[in-house]
């Protein structure tokens, strides 16, 4: 062979591995990580359009037909156009990554934001929420909106999590007659079922941690004030925050990195830019060495499968060089249940009116308007449970009420400085650990949720961090009877880097995520 032909042949052979022809996205791609998808995009093996088409097809086949998980309220009519713009030239940490948003998060597009209520159906938000704007800046494809517990579960004490007047009940994809927990039920079920790469949920107390745990996901409830709440239908400005729900710690950290930061429209985020960072820097498999982690037995002993997950986690922590301090007590834990709901009710009455004032193209302006709407449409809105929490909130005074001022200050102090902070300081701890909720309970629209894990006197394992406004992270560590069981780590304000590092270390050994089987029910032998 002449030298010039030999040189050309060698050059072509070297180039071939990089000249990858795009292929159709497969089921495996529906469960691929953000990093894997971005690598496939860079090679030209996949395109954002192809992956977005895959998810839209799966939503049609799995969510709207087939097992009918009912996790997605609506898909974005502009999703494919957004994906097309990212093909081959997308920039940003989430370039071309399809993501679902809970239906209490405003998007300034053709999708609705309703909190699952018929009262807001037919109107769209005037602009993006702070979270949606940051996701777009990072290059994400906003794929659609997820179902939830109506009004994020602040309407009734007897509600069934994941039910809305707008769409009905979201199912747990692992076992379809089981609950996905609330209020971010749709976000959890959708990601677990492979209907999007990641999703955004929101939490006041447990609404990220519980659904992530019961659908086998990683969920991060950030420090209140790390992520903007502007344009998110509120419950309580003392406790509300949005956060990522994903199939891995790495994906959750990537999304948190994109959405964290200050927003002039949300005063609580004034210090966020000082703490927001690239959280993927803390994905160190050796990070557990030297960590001191306290086990909160006060939040255990309720459900045996959850306790078994705690024991497994303790063994994993010790095996990787962490010091486990058992039976750490959080002071004032039982006192936290006394006034948490009262704070929420005071703040909801005020905060929902402030939010509705920024939604000009719909008639609802106050909590009283919402109550009247539900009464007028009770067959559609209240066939299973009522609105007693709405009514209780309507009776509360304003935020200048001395009673409110006293209880909100007391809650923050007892949960934070005199609670979690005191427990951490006493034993020089980096974080605290407890079981997340146990395996998912059976759906029961007649009697409502059957929550069987977490200290019932404080409403669950999420309460201390939620009331304090401190961060927490849950991840799956085992399965029981075909259902995922998780563990939750929580710590001081702004301690997301530490919690992510700890969770990543546990995840590398637990390796617990499994694709759901969409079982109709558990077999009884």
> Tens digit of pLDDT for each residue in 261-319?
999 999 999 999 999 999 999 999 999 999 999 999 999 998 999 999 999 999 999 99
DSSP secondary structure letter of residue 416: I
8 Å CB contact between 197 and 98: yes
Residue 516 lies in a domain: no
Mean pLDDT of the chain: 94
pLDDT at 48 > cutoff 90: yes
The average pLDDT across 394-412 equals: 98
Active site residue: 129, 149, 183, 213, which one?
183
Q: Is 93 a catalytic residue?
A: no
Confidence (pLDDT) at 525: 67
pLDDT band at 88 (very low <50, low <70, confident <90, very high): confident
DSSP secondary structure letter of residue 382: -
Confidence (pLDDT) at 450: 83
- CATH of residue 289: 3.90.1300.10
Q: Is 183 a catalytic residue?
A: yes
- Residue 219 CA to residue 191 CA, distance in Å, equals 11
Confidence (pLDDT) at 454: 47
Residue 16 lies in a domain: no
Residue 211 lies in a domain: yes
Range of the domain at 163: 28-263+275-510
Residue 15 lies in a domain: no
Confidence (pLDDT) at 128: 98
8 Å CB contact between 145 and 130: no
Active site residue: 38, 102, 221, 312, which one?
102
Task: Identify the weakest region by mean pLDDT among 68-82, 87-101, 103-117, 464-478.
Answer: 87-101
Confidence (pLDDT) at 164: 98
Confidence (pLDDT) at 460: 67
Answer with the residue of higher pLDDT: 88 or 65. Answer: 65
Residue 406 lies in a domain: yes
Q: 163 - beta bridge partners? A: 169
Domain total of the chain:
1
The average pLDDT across 246-268 equals: 98
Confidence (pLDDT) at 9: 43
8 Å CB contact between 146 and 71: yes
pLDDT band at 137 (very low <50, low <70, confident <90, very high): very high
Confidence (pLDDT) at 364: 98
Angle between helices 496-510 and 249-259 (to 10 degrees): 160
Active site residue: 156, 161, 202, 207, which one?
207
Share of the chain above pLDDT 70, in %: 94
pLDDT band at 18 (very low <50, low <70, confident <90, very high): very low
Task: Output helix, strand, coil percentages for the chain, rounded to the nearest 5.
Answer: 40, 15, 45
Residue 518 lies in a domain: no
Residue 523 lies in a domain: no
Residue 12 lies in a domain: no
Q: Is 161 a catalytic residue?
A: no
**pLDDT digit string, tens, across residues 154-208:** 999 999 999 999 999 999 999 999 999 989 999 999 999 999 999 999 999 999 9
């Amino acid at each position: 062979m002449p030298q010039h032909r030999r040189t050309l042949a060698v050059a072509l052979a070297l180039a071939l591995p990089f000249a990858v022809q795009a292929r159709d996205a497969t089921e495996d791609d529906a469960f691929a990580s953000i990093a894997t998808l971005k690598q496939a995009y860079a090679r030209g093996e996949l395109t954002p359009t192809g992956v977005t088409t895959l998810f839209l097809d799966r939503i049609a086949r799995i969510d709207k037909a087939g097992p009918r998980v009912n996790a997605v309220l609506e898909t974005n009519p502009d999703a494919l156009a957004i994906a097309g713009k990212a093909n081959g030239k997308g920039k940003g940490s989430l370039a071309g990554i399809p993501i679902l948003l809970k239906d209490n998060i405003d998007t300034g597009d053709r999708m609705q934001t309703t909190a699952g209520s018929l009262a807001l159906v037919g109107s769209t938000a005037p602009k993006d929420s702070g979270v949606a704007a940051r996701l777009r800046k990072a290059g994400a494809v906003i794929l659609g909106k997820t179902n939830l517990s109506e009004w994020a579960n602040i309407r009734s004490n007897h509600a069934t999590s994941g039910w809305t007047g707008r769409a009905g009940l979201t199912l747990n994809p692992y076992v379809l007659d089981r609950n996905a927990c609330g209020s971010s039920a749709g976000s959890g079920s959708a990601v677990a079922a492979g209907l999007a790469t990641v999703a955004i949920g929101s939490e006041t107390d447990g609404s990220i941690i519980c659904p992530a745990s019961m659908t086998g996901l990683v969920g991060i409830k950030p420090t209140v004030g790390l992520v903007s709440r502007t344009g998110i239908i509120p419950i309580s400005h003392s406790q509300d925050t949005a956060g990522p729900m994903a199939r891995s710690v790495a994906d959750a950290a990537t999304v948190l990195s994109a959405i964290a930061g200050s927003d002039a429209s949300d005063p609580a985020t004034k210090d966020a830019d000082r703490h927001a960072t690239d959280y993927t820097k803390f994905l160190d498999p050796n990070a557990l060495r030297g960590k001191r982690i306290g086990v909160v037995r006060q939040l255990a002993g309720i459900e045996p499968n959850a306790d078994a997950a705690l024991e497994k986690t303790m063994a994993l922590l010790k095996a990787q060089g962490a010091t486990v301090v058992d039976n750490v007590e959080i002071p004032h834990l039982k006192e936290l249940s006394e006034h948490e709901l009262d704070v929420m009710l005071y703040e909801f009455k005020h905060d929902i009116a402030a939010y509705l004032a920024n939604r000009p193209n719909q008639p609802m302006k106050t909590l009283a308007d919402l109550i009247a709407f539900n009464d007028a449409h009770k067959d559609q809105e209240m066939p299973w449970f009522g609105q007693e929490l709405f009514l209780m909130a309507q009776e509360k005074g304003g935020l200048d009420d001395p009673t409110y001022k006293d209880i909100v200050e007391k809650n923050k102090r007892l949960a934070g400085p005199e609670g979690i902070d005191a427990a951490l300081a006493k034993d020089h701890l980096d974080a605290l650990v407890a079981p997340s909720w146990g395996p998912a309970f059976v759906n029961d629209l007649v009697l409502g949720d059957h929550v069987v894990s977490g200290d019932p006197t404080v409403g669950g394992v999420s309460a201390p961090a939620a009331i304090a406004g401190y961060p927490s992270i849950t991840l799956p560590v085992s399965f029981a009877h075909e259902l995922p069981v998780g563990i939750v780590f929580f710590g001081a304000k702004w301690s997301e880097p530490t919690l992510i590092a700890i969770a990543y270390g546990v995840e590398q050994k637990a390796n617990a995520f499994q694709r759901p089987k969409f079982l109709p029910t558990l077999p009884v032998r």
